Amino acid sequence: MKKKPHTALFMIVLCAFAALILSSLTDFLGPIQKAKKQAFTRRQILDSASIDSEGTTQEILKRFETNLTPLLVDKSGTIMTFKEANINEAQYFKRYEKIGFYKAEYKLFYKINGKDNSMIGFIIPIDGFGLWGPIHGYLAFEKDAITIKGLTFYDHMETPGLGAEIATKKWQKQFVNKSIHSSSEPVTIDSPPFSIWVVKNAEKMEQTLEQKNSSVDAITGASVTSIGVQKAFEVCLKAYRPLILKLHEQHGKS
Amino acid sequence: MAKAKYFTTFKNGIYKENQILVAILGICSALAVTIQVKLAIIMGLCVIFVTSISSLLVSLLRTLTPNNVRMLTQLIIISTFVIIIDQVVKALSYEVSKTLSVFIGLIITNCLVMGRSEAFAKYNSPILSFFDGLGAATGYALVIIAISIIRELFGFGTLLGYQIIPTVFYATHPYHLSRFVNFNIMALAPSAFFILGIFIAIFNWTNREKI
């Protein structure tokens, strides 16, 4: 019988070999993975603003840069760029990506650029909690700041077939052209909190036209997820209220 | 002669010694990834890759491996390949990796892979072990794909994302409530248990004389 190598020696060689293969592979694939992940998030943001999100990774990154500008807003509604606020963009994203941008002192939003760099709408991140874990998405507004242009949820852990319906286009379509201001009164600083009502049978409910225009159908069998989405709307729209009021005042009347 | 042996080993792995239906191995992942056909196919391919290659390597190293660390050696080999495939999937499609990442990581603990290494590759020649791993994993893949077809069809009315059950069959209107409604249980993990149980019963019934 052949003599077997020493146990410790065998393990050390084997582990070193495996580690070498894996580390060189991660080194090689790392940049590709990062680009794919970034393209995925950007595609979601473009989707929420109903801008064409098809194409290769490079095309998406380019389209993102021409159509959208990341900006920050503080508590009083003052808008500034990352440079003006003296904040490192990469660090900022890393810090607030998981916990929610609405918690930051300077809150992130994206300006949708029209012709001549004018503003035709804006996008805010929307973060909340579903049944099994956090939900992350983007909410796009029209120029008047109270009409919804589109919505995407890109990260969630909800039950497939039930709560996970929030990630489908079919469900998200309901939000288009809804208003976050559920009253016929003009929007002022004293307006009731902005929100969207996620309710059962939104079409048939006995309610005023304005309320109907702020309600969407909940998902059958996923009450906790539906409530979570509504909570996310309430919390995020409260945090972004100064921005919404300001932009509505600037552009809403036209 | 040798070729026939390889083929028999491969064929046995698929049907006669099917790892899920006969050995009841690898059930945990059979529950988790069978919700959509697409996920089951990707998972099946990953397991085929990991099982066949790691069986080959375990068999190549079998004369060198000290007996007291043979399990550790197998684990190192298996996990190396699992991490490789996880990284590759991540680089290919971020969306797929987001749903599958946890399950791909769990291939390491899939009893099937280690079972083949421990029960077969340890005693047999590399190429024969490779075919054994290939057959066992293909058998596994076929079973989970079959389960996922049933679950996706009745749970969502779709296959690979395409609508199969026509939308007019659905009870979408109060006038015809007696029409088809998706089975919510199919979307949940217990349904895989039931379907798997039925599969095993059918398998045992058809093979009752041989056993």
In this predicted structure, the answer to whether residue B35 has a pLDDT above a threshold of 90 is no
Tell me which of B57, B61, B64, B173 to substitute to probe the interface with A (most A C-beta atoms closer than 10 Å). Answer: B64
Judge: A161–B155 Cβ closer than 8 Å, yes or no: yes
Q: Is residue A120 over pLDDT 70?
A: yes
The answer on pLDDT for B16 being more than 70 is yes
CB–CB contact A161 B80 (8 Å): no
Percent of chain B with pLDDT over 90: 26
HSE (side-chain half, CA atoms, 13 Å) at A47: 20
Q: Does A16 touch chain B (CB under 8 A)?
A: no
Mean pLDDT (chain A, rounded): 82
Give the mean model confidence (pLDDT) for residues B123-143: 91
- Determine whether the interchain pair A7/B91 forms a contact, defined as Cβ–Cβ distance below 8 Å: no
Residue A18: CB atoms within 10 A of its CB come to: 17
Q: A36 in contact with B at a CB cutoff of 8 Å?
A: yes
User: pLDDT by residue (tens digit) across B77-87?
Assistant: 999 999 999 89
Residue carrying the six token digits 């945990």: B28
Residues 110-129 of B with CB under 8 A from A: none
Q: Quick check: A40 pLDDT over 90? A: no
Q: What is the per-residue pLDDT across B39-71, written as a single tens digit (0 to 9) for each?
A: 889 889 999 999 999 999 999 988 888 888 888
Using the predicted structure, report yes or no on whether residue A57 has a pLDDT greater than 80. Answer: no
Q: Does A93 touch chain B (CB under 8 A)?
A: no
Which chain A positions have a beta carbon within 8 Å of B93's beta carbon?
36
Round to whole Å and give the CA distance between B150 and B152: 6
pLDDT band at B139 (very low <50, low <70, confident <90, very high): very high
A39 interface with B at CB cutoff 8 Å:
yes
Answer whether residue B206 shows pLDDT above 80.
Answer: yes
Of residues B145 and A154, more confidence is placed in B145
Show residues of chain B in contact with A2, CB under 8 Å. Answer: 63
pTM: 0.73
* pLDDT > 60? residue B148: yes
Residue A84's CB is within 10 A of a number of other CB atoms, namely 12
Compute CA distances A151 → A49, A166, A221, B40, B43, whole Å.
8, 10, 21, 30, 31
Asked if A10's CB is within 8 angstroms of B64's CB, the reply is yes
Q: What is the pLDDT of residue B176?
A: 66
Quote the minimal CA–CA distance from B16 to chain A in Å: 34
**pLDDT of res. B54:** 92
pLDDT interval class at B199 (50, 70, 90)? very high
What was the pLDDT predicted at B1? 56
Report the alpha-carbon distance of residue B202 to residue B211 in Å, rounded. 14
- ipTM of the shown complex: 0.72
Number of Cβ pairs < 8 A linking chain A and chain B: 69
Nearest-CA distance from B147 to chain A in Å? 16
Q: How far apart are CA B55 and CA B52, in angstroms?
A: 5
> What residues pair up with A111 in beta bridges, in sequence order?
A69, A122
Contact A29 B73 (CB under 8 A): no
Chain B residues in contact with A153 by the CB 8 A cut-off are none
- Within the 156-185 window of chain B, which residues sit less than 8 Å (CB to CB) from chain A? 156, 182, 184
Q: Does A2 touch chain B if contact means CB atoms closer than 8 Å?
A: yes
Q: Please, are residues B107 and B82 in contact by the beta-carbon 8 Å criterion?
A: yes
Residue pair A7/B69 in contact (Cβ under 8 Å)? The answer is yes
pLDDT value at A4 more than 80: no
pLDDT of amino acid B175? 67
User: Is B201 near chain A, with CB under 8 Å?
Assistant: no
DSSP state of B15: T
Q: How many angstroms separate the CA atoms of A11 and B91, rounded?
A: 30
Gyration radius of chain B over CA positions: 19
H/E stretch holding A189:
none
B95, A18: Cβ pair inside 8 Å? no
> How far is residue A21 from each of residues B50, B59, B71, B75, B83, measured CA to CA in Å?
15, 20, 20, 16, 10
Q: Does B93 touch chain A (CB under 8 A)?
A: yes
Q: In this complex, is the C-beta atom of A250 within 8 Å of any C-beta atom belonging to chain B?
A: no
Beta strands in chain A (DSSP E): 68-73, 79-80, 107-113, 119-129, 134-142, 148-155, 197-199, 215-217
- Asked if A106 and A87 touch (Cβ cutoff 8 Å), the reply is yes
Distance between CA atoms of residues B188 and B157, nearest Å: 15
CB B26 within 8 Å of CB B144: no
* A157-182 average pLDDT score: 81
Q: Contact A161/B182, CB-based, under 8 Å?
A: yes
Confidence of residue A252 (pLDDT cuts 50, 70, 90): low
Question: What's the pLDDT band for A132 if we cut at 50, 70, 90?
Answer: confident
